[in-house]
Amino acid sequence: IDAGEWELVPKVAALCIGNAKSFGGGMKITPHA
């Protein structure tokens, strides 16, 4: 898979990629996963 070149985006505070609906404490990170 070739996704092209990486681009830095300095204004991003946090990036979460996941396949679960929440972190361990129940915090909803990706509720539609």
Residues in the chain, pLDDT under 70: 1-2, 12, 33
Q: How far apart are CA 29 and CA 23, in angstroms?
A: 7
pTM above 0.75, yes or no: no
Helix, strand, coil % (nearest 5) of the chain? Answer: 0, 5, 95
**pLDDT computed for residue 26 by the predictor:** 73
Beta strands per DSSP E along the chain: none
Residue with tokens 């300095």: 10
Q: Is 26 left (phi over 0), alpha (psi -120 to 50) or beta?
A: left
**pLDDT computed for residue 9 by the predictor:** 72
- The token pair at 4 is 């092209």
